[in-house]
Amino acid sequence: MSFRSLLFVPGARPDRFQKAVGVGADAVCIDLEDAVPPGQKDAARHATLDFIAQTEMRGLGVRINAVHTPDCITDLRAIGTARKRPGFVMIAKVDSAQDLALVRQAIGEDAPLWPIIESAEGLRHAWEIASADAVAGVLFGAVDFAADLGCTMDWEPLLYARGALAAAAARGHRQLLDSPYVDVRDLAGLEEATARARVMGFTGRACIHPDQVPVVNRLYTPTAAEITQARRVLNAFNATGGGPALLDGKLIELPVVRQAVRVLERAGEV
């Protein structure tokens, strides 16, 4: 299942769970990590898994605490004995593919994994992380990454990391979600930053407020013009029997065809 948008909801706020499911995001991730104060971890864990057991949403998952922490061990034990597994498990602060192997060993292979890369060490191992078994996609944790590097959250300081993650995800044929846009009132800024990430190869974006979801869904949904052009590209290519073709004076070869296929995949036509 591909995600254009993923909405985070704090595990310490079970009163918001049902509303989050109804917002229209492709995925909802209940957060047991940063969004939950230390003294509320157990209550949040129980409420989260109880809600998942009672809710029919394929894209409903959970973010667990970083591997090698006591809270992660408790998270994994709870998921392993839960009445119903989450639709996916997102893992905070993944630094290596070995971190993912430990998660799989603890909970089995039922739930797809979504590692969050949010450190220099994680970026160094991004190619192995993105290609690891059971990984459905990768999330860029820009806030923690910037803190690890000591840089700002502006576009330019994080450009290299986004480009490296786009290449790693493409190599592993994985989805890639951008970090949430932290200014929830700046929808124009969200639109601009999301459009930039999309043309880099990101396949969707995480959100931290319901108002962000429609913007992200729209930007990651192909327009009618894009779909029409993609069909024209495939028709022109197929008309030559799979050889080079000219369309509107431009050369159509396999790389262009692959891009057209991606557009139609996002539109649900392939």
Q: Are 161 and 120 in contact (CB under 8 A)?
A: no
Q: Is there a single domain that holds both residue 83 and residue 157?
A: yes
How many Cα neighbours within 13 Å face the side chain of 234?
Answer: 15
Q: Is there a single domain that holds both residue 200 and residue 156?
A: yes
Taking only the tens place, the pLDDT of each residue in 70-112 is 999 999 999 999 999 999 999 999 999 999 999 999 998 778 9
Taking only the tens place, the pLDDT of each residue in 122-149 is 999 999 999 999 999 999 999 999 999 9
Q: Is there a single domain that holds both residue 196 and residue 254?
A: no
Angstrom CA distances, 186 to 28, 87, 177, 180, 260, stand at 21, 30, 19, 12, 32
Mean pLDDT score of the chain, rounded to an integer?
Answer: 94
Q: Is there a single domain that holds both residue 110 and residue 240?
A: no
Q: Is there a single domain that holds both residue 112 and residue 174?
A: yes
pTM of the model: 0.91
Q: What is the pLDDT of residue 202?
A: 97
Angstrom CA distances, 228 to 74, 198, 223, 225, 267, stand at 50, 19, 9, 5, 11
Kindly indicate the confidence band of residue 226, based on its pLDDT and cuts at 50, 70 and 90: confident
* Domains identified in the chain, total number: 2
Kindly indicate the confidence band of residue 233, based on its pLDDT and cuts at 50, 70 and 90: confident
Q: What is the pLDDT of residue 242?
A: 81
Instruction: Report, in this order, helix, strand and coil percent for the chain, each rounded to 5.
Output: 50, 15, 35
Q: Is there a single domain that holds both residue 187 and residue 262?
A: no
Q: Is there a single domain that holds both residue 239 and residue 212?
A: no
* Neighbour count for residue 189 (Cβ, 10 Å): 12
- Expressed as residue numbers, the domain containing 130 is 5-219
Q: Is there a single domain that holds both residue 108 and residue 233?
A: no
User: Could you tell me the CATH number of the domain that includes residue 122?
Assistant: 3.20.20.60
Q: Is there a single domain that holds both residue 212 and residue 228?
A: no
Q: Is there a single domain that holds both residue 122 and residue 138?
A: yes
Taking only the tens place, the pLDDT of each residue in 148-178 is 999 999 999 999 999 999 999 999 999 999 9
How many Cα neighbours within 13 Å face the side chain of 31?
Answer: 19
Domain boundary pick from 198, 219, 240:
219
How many Cα neighbours within 13 Å face the side chain of 188?
Answer: 0
**116 — phi, psi (to 5°)?**
-105, 125
Q: Is there a single domain that holds both residue 206 and residue 233?
A: no
Domain boundary pick from 182, 197, 219:
219
Placement of tokens 């069909």 in the chain: 231
Q: What is the pLDDT of residue 244?
A: 83
Q: What is the pLDDT of residue 169?
A: 97
Q: What is the pLDDT of residue 67?
A: 96
Q: Are 33 and 92 in contact (CB under 8 A)?
A: yes
